[in-house]
Chains A and B, each alone.
Chain A
Amino acid sequence: MLCKKQRIKVKTIAIERIKRLFEMADYMFHINSELSHRYVELARRIAMRCKVRIPRELRRKFCHRCYRFLRPGVNCRVRLVKRREPHIAITCLECGNVMRLNLEGLKREGER
């Protein structure tokens, strides 16, 4: 069992590692896309092991069904949908899964 100070340190390092992995996934995507999918897997494992959440802006960068790294225009499609509840629809072109982000919710949090 770690003391409180060490637990905080573990969590800050974990979040930083997750950010670094997503940066590398972004960089590696055009060189070797298989590696960037692997980095998403590693980032998710770190998050689960250290009980931290993946930061919100990074959570949209991978498919939640097949856990592939998503790059708009290459392997995912981003559309604004007005009807029904206005939302952003992100379609993964690898597996066909659709992620929907509610626009009202994003507006409330002060995001674009």
Chain B
Amino acid sequence: MPITPQNILNHELIGLRAKVVKSTHQGYVGIEGLVVDETMKTLKIMDDKGCIKVIPKSCCTIRFKLPGNVIVEVEGPYLLGRPEDRVKRVVKRRW
């Protein structure tokens, strides 16, 4: 089952291209690059210069580029949780 917009909340984010499009803090907006690490409350994004930026999930909206040129925008609070806990979580979808 490859990664799709339907199962992105349960799937692996490491290795995807990501861009912060909206945030309550303006400094995070516009950060773009490869997701290299994930913790319970943050994502670590490596930009093209090789610099690792730490972004809190709770206050950002992030745009992911999936294989096959599919682009999904995910609100950060839905991604909260440890990476191994997210596999099993069932989210009631209202979209």
User: Does chain A have a CB within 8 A of B90?
Assistant: yes
Q: What CA separation (Å) do A16 and B12 show in the bound complex? A: 9
**Among A21, A23, A28, A49, which residue has its beta carbon within 8 angstroms of that of B87?**
A49
Known: A13-B10, A17-B87, A42-B14. 10 other contacts (CB 8 A): A2-B88, A9-B1, A12-B1, A16-B1, A20-B15, A31-B50, A32-B36, A49-B84, A49-B87, A50-B84
Sorted nearest first, the 6 A-B pairs with minimum C-beta distance are A17-B12, A45-B84, A49-B84, A24-B15, A20-B12, A46-B84
| Min CB gap A105→B, angstroms | 30
Are A28 and B85 touching (Cβ within 8 A)? Answer: no
Chain B residues near A50: list those with CB within 8 A: 84, 87-88
Chain B residues near A42: list those with CB within 8 A: 14, 38, 83-84
Chain B residues near A32: list those with CB within 8 A: 36
Q: What CA separation (Å) do A79 and B44 show in the bound complex? A: 37
Q: What CA separation (Å) do A47 and B15 show in the bound complex? A: 19
Task: Please tell me the number of chain B residues within 8 Å of chain A, measured between CB atoms.
Answer: 19
Q: A20-B12, A24-B14 are in contact. Are A46 and B87 (CB under 8 A)?
A: yes
Residues 32-62 of A at the B interface (beta carbon under 8 Å): 32, 35, 38-39, 42, 45-46, 48-50
Chain B residues near A35: list those with CB within 8 A: 36-37
The dominant DSSP class at the B interface is loop
Chain A residues near B12: list those with CB within 8 A: 16-17, 20-21
Chain A residues near B38: list those with CB within 8 A: 42
User: Does chain A have a CB within 8 A of B11?
Assistant: yes
Chain B residues near A17: list those with CB within 8 A: 11-12, 87
Chain B residues near A23: list those with CB within 8 A: 15
Mark contacts of B29-52 with chain A using CB atoms, 8 A cut-off: 1 yes-contact digit, 0 otherwise: 000000011100000000000100
User: Does chain B have a CB within 8 A of A66?
Assistant: no
User: Does chain B have a CB within 8 A of A106?
Assistant: no
Q: What CA separation (Å) do A39 and B38 show in the bound complex? A: 10
